[in-house]
Structure 1
């Protein structure tokens, strides 16, 4: 059994260490300016506190400060949220999904995305993402569009139906992933990149309780990657990889009994890998903090999945909340 309480204490110290002079504002890395809040630092602080079930209560100054800090990143002319290091669609979805945890919304309409309310324009947008060469990075756009538009209240059920119809039609029957055929083309990105890409569309599907079209094929893909050593798990480091893989494995396993023993073994193996990382990264030192709130967010959200999947292996004073059970995007 792994005692995660020292790790949780370091998360709390890290959030405090990343505060900036702006009320509610946080920086992503300790090397960033202490005077300027960052979209990702602030949004990740919200996600981390939600996962710990320690978000400030509605009506408090701390809650209002978080909402105001996130809303100020929105461009009133385009409606988009621009964060350093990612495409504006990712920043927009990331900020809006953090606002959702605070029961809040953007201040302005998502003006630059209005044209994609038309199903034909939506399909053209999705069709023309770089599915072959850059599926992982491009999924921030294709999945981020859905999360941003839905959580901001910009679209109706018919638009969502059109989006899910595209996902259904474009599911690859051999791998279970998106976009159909892209991962089989010459010069395609590594298969794991297609899996990590598809994770982003999967949490949109799960948000509306939509079933995976080919869960058995998805499991085959995951087990194939695992057997070949092509899942880039990091030792003694923070990462989003465990979150991407565990989420997809658990989701597929909930829909089929296919290769269930092998799937369970893979889930357990990755869970133990992450718990080993947690032990190595934990410290009792009051001065130790993590440098990057974004990477810390990935590991912490994955830890919530581990606790849910194998609670008997986790010693904690609390049940961590799984952010993707509440709303899409991470």
Structure 2
């Protein structure tokens, strides 16, 4: 009984027989438990799915239903109620008598008793290192950011920013445990309650610091970025070649990113070399036998691409070199021969080999290369073997999941990240590039919005260019076919847009990963050409979803172009 109410003592004080009984209890529950977990026999554990990371415990009187995924060292103290779709990060400590309610009743029909009307569930997502006090209520749809604190007795109806301390009913920011990057102005940075709610929305008339004059901020950013574009390119130009970041070796992609950035911000080729010299070099890098572009060696020279579909080190170059040449008014001198020679059976076999269930991004990457190679070949009059392109699109149409609109499956370790990111890559290279409608666009919107509620991806300190682009582009692409959940899409875009504008470093551009005090020292946060090129595209898609893209004064024309490439 003592351990049921003080489970943190169990693995240090329980005897061997008690430990064996606990492990037998966990085996009988048939859920996924990490090492040194504890589940009280006095708890009511009725989950459809349950994962507890190492060192997590469920105390006496707790009531759990639905789907719960908890990281390491999470605590569900006595009489907690956790129901619906819930994700807890690492080291989430939940006080006694607290309720996390990841579902809700509907009441749309006044002639039907509430208990007979359908339930809805958006789920609750809690970040890492979060302390939730006793007698707290957190309602469906809420995301609580990393390192936040929820004071005892709070009723949380809106998202809690990372590092915030919130309390009250409804909960409001009281102070900051970890101040946000760049700080906040006004009372949001003080220890008093701010006027805005936890989602960042505020009353009419407040400034950009609080709710955001989005259009004005976008236009101001674009002016600053254009003024600094030359300096950003200069810092990455070394000995006649571009590097992604100072101190790194030249890469094929860096040359192409420089072309894209110059086109976006300056409307011309980089001024560091004559445009014809840049065209000549990119064309000379294509291997005439395979049609691929091999990687550059660190000491000079170039790797020879491997035959077949596709050399991993050379794959993305089909996209970036092809589009850089297109922006410079040229094209590959040769078709991508490994694709031109592939028949329908080889295409289908390649699609079937891809790790759709475990790594849908990798599978989508493969499809993106294939679709883009088909595009360049057709532009040159090389239509490939009969039925090959039809096999590609036919396979994708036949295998799209009607429930998600995507290919591949989610995973406990990262939720819907893989299928969403894989959808972006696969759809970009095929349906978007060829101007064809995607299957199940409404389900795509639903899936991306569900994914965007995952605290492991969407929090500002967790964002990177790939993951946010892979949210923005599918929503934009689906919007060309449907207005499904349009207000939610626009609201998400505005929030992500505010975050993205804050990731810029003057004179250097964007790092691939967003800067934050908790990520200091991560090389991915250092500004470079890849991060700058990708975030500039992300900004356009988000701004267009938010209805303010005109203020940017640019529209992607390369790898991330919104229009069909034909």
**Going by fraction, where is strand more abundant, 1 or 2?**
2
Q: How does 1:28-67 map to 2 (within 5 A)?
A: 28-33=244-249, 37-56=250-269, 62-67=274-279
2:135 corresponds in structure 1 to none
Identify the match of residue 383 of structure 2 among 141, 151, 155.
Answer: 155
Structure 1 spans left out of the alignment, 5+ residues: none
Q: How does 1:282-301 map to 2 (within 5 A)?
A: 282=506, 291-301=527-537
How far off is 1:233 after superposition? 5.1
Identify the match of residue 11 of structure 1 among 229, 232, 249.
Answer: 229
CA RMSD of aligned residues (A): 3.1
How far off is 1:81 after superposition? 0.9
How far off is 1:234 after superposition? 4.3
1:198 corresponds in structure 2 to 423
Change (3 A) 1:162 1:138: closer
Matched, 1:321 2:556: yes
Structure 2 spans left out of the alignment, 5+ residues: 1-215, 298-311, 510-525
Task: Provide the C-alpha distance between the structure 1 equivalents of 2:458 and 2:243, rounded to a whole number of angstroms.
Answer: 27
Q: Is the 8 A contact 2:252 2:317 kept in 1?
A: yes
Q: Which runs of 4+ in 1 moved over 6 A?
A: 186-189
The structure having more radius of gyration, on CA atoms, is 2
Change (3 A) 1:165 1:233: farther
Change (3 A) 1:267 1:149: same
- Give 3-state SS (helix, strand or coil) of 1:183's partner: coil
Matched, 1:143 2:378: no
- Give 3-state SS (helix, strand or coil) of 1:164's partner: helix
Q: Is the 8 A contact 1:52 1:320 kept in 2?
A: no
2:345 corresponds in structure 1 to 120
Task: Provide the C-alpha distance between the structure 1 equivalents of 2:355 and 2:414, rounded to a whole number of angstroms.
Answer: 10
Change (3 A) 1:96 1:322: closer
Identify the match of residue 87 of structure 1 among 313, 324, 330.
Answer: 313
Q: Is the 8 A contact 2:229 2:266 kept in 1?
A: no
Matched, 1:100 2:326: yes
Greater displacement, 85-94 / 251-260: 85-94
1:306 corresponds in structure 2 to 542
Identify the match of residue 397 of structure 2 among 168, 172, 180.
Answer: 168
Tell me the TM-score normalised to structure 2 length.
0.49
Task: With a CA cutoff of 8 Å and minimum separation of 6, indicate the structure with the bigger relative contact order.
Answer: 1
Q: Is the 8 A contact 2:374 2:383 kept in 1?
A: yes
Greater displacement, 143-152 / 186-195: 186-195
Task: Provide the C-alpha distance between the structure 2 equivalents of 1:106 and 1:73, rounded to a whole number of angstroms.
Answer: 10
1:269 corresponds in structure 2 to 495
Task: Provide the C-alpha distance between the structure 2 equivalents of 1:27 and 1:13, rounded to a whole number of angstroms.
Answer: 14
Task: Provide the C-alpha distance between the structure 2 equivalents of 1:18 and 1:115, rounded to a whole number of angstroms.
Answer: 38
